[in-house]
């Protein structure tokens, strides 16, 4: 993953965030949490900033909006608040990395997505202490690693500058949603 170019790593990060986004959308729908479409707009702007020359975004405003739309786990009595928080954390991490060379960590979003999966696996296990091997071999984690591998393979064999924004995003989404679920196994609604 670290061998990919910065742009390729950013495409990978945005694709993983897209895979987490429906978790937030479901939480927002179930709890009537306000305005999830603002986060959709932010995600769209981040893709555009990455792939469209001279696209401008206001990172400070985005950061403020994401922080406003990050739920507080103490305010909700549903598990869905945690994947929603992971998604917002991922967005903020991505923004920080785009703004500062020191903050940039090419694997940060992958770690956040995997952390979200680990959290769910441990939550479902209840009081049972799980070995790392059990978590690594869990179907959600193996699916995540497969998606990651597919993204890396595609990015390492594709010249992004030969493709437009829509094509890049479309192919990235095709890869991350090939199995029709989010990173924590929530089925996508077919439109």
> Per-residue pLDDT tens for 93-144?
999 998 887 777 879 999 999 999 999 999 999 999 999 999 999 999 999 9
The CATH classification number of 6-175 equals 1.20.1590.10
Q: Considering the entire predicted model, what is its pTM?
A: 0.93
Q: In which residue are the tokens 């739920």 written?
A: 71
Mean pLDDT score across all residues of the chain = 91
Q: In which residue are the tokens 């786990």 written?
A: 73
Encoded tokens for 41: 């707009």
Nearest to 15 by CA among 113, 89, 143, 129: 113
> Per-residue pLDDT tens for 53-106?
888 889 999 999 999 999 999 999 999 999 999 999 999 999 999 888 777 787
Gap between the Cα atoms of 30 and 78, Å rounded: 9
- DSSP assigned state of 71: P
Q: Which helix (H) or strand (E) holds 4?
A: none
DSSP secondary structure of 100-163: -TTT--TTHHHHHHHHHHHHHHHHHHTTPPPPHHHHHHSHHHHHHHHHHHHHHHHHHT--GGGS
Residue 126: φ, ψ to 5°: 65, -125
Q: Is 121 within 8 Å of 141 (Cβ atoms)?
A: yes
Confidence of residue 50 (pLDDT cuts 50, 70, 90): confident
Q: Hey, is 187 helix, strand or coil?
A: strand
Q: Is 113 within 8 Å of 144 (Cβ atoms)?
A: yes
């Amino acid at each position: 993953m670290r061998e990919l170019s910065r742009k390729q790593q950013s495409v990978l990060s945005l694709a993983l965030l897209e895979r987490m986004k429906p978790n937030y959308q479901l939480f927002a729908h179930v709890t009537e949490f306000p305005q999830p479409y603002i986060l959709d707009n932010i995600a769209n702007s981040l893709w555009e900033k990455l792939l469209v020359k001279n696209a401008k975004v206001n990172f400070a405003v985005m950061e403020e909006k994401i922080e406003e739309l990050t739920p507080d786990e103490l305010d909700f009595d549903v598990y869905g608040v945690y994947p929603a928080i992971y998604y917002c954390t991922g967005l903020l991490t991505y923004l920080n990395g785009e703004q500062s060379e020191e903050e940039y960590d090419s694997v940060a979003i992958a770690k956040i997505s995997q952390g979200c999966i680990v959290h769910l696996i441990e939550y479902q296990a209840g009081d049972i202490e799980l070995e790392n091997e059990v978590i690594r071999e869990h179907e959600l984690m193996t699916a995540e690693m497969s998606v990651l591998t597919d993204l890396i393979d595609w990015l390492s064999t594709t010249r992004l500058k030969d493709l437009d924004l829509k094509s890049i995003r479309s192919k990235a989404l095709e890869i991350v949603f090939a199995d029709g679920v989010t990173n924590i196994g929530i089925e996508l609604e077919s439109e």
